[in-house]
């Protein structure tokens, strides 16, 4: 049986504060407002980096572990 989970995304305002979970639709909307191509930004998030836009900072939500920059098992399936 194939175990597969869709990634969850988080955002926070530039002023600081806590990370809040956002939908993939909201993330894509914000990325399309900033980048001509969103694939490089998504690749950065998969590699464990945060993506900064004029609207906020975005990342893939970590569940039960620490992201170390290696490709996530989530995307290895």
pLDDT in tens, the chain (77 residues): 566 667 789 999 877 788 999 999 999 999 999 999 999 999 999 999 999 998 899 999 877 544 444 444 444 44
| Sequence-ordered list of residues with C-beta below 8 angstroms from that of 76, at least 6 positions apart, any chain | none
- Identify the pLDDT of residue 23: 92
Residue showing tokens 């490709």: 71
Q: Considering Cα of 37, then 38, then 40, then 41, what sign does the dihedral take?
A: positive
Residue showing tokens 């975005």: 58
Compute how many other C-beta atoms are within 10 angstroms of the C-beta atom of residue 7: 15
Per the confidence metrics, is the pTM higher than 0.75? no
- Identify the pLDDT of residue 4: 62
- Identify the pLDDT of residue 7: 74
């Amino acid at each position: 049986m194939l175990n597969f989970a869709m990634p969850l995304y988080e955002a926070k305002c530039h002023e600081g504060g806590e990370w809040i979970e956002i939908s993939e639709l909201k993330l894509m909307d914000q990325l399309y407002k900033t980048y001509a191509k969103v694939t490089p930004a998504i690749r950065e998030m998969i590699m464990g980096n945060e993506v900064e836009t004029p609207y906020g900072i975005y990342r893939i939500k970590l569940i039960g572990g620490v992201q170390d920059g290696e490709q996530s098992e989530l995307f290895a399936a």
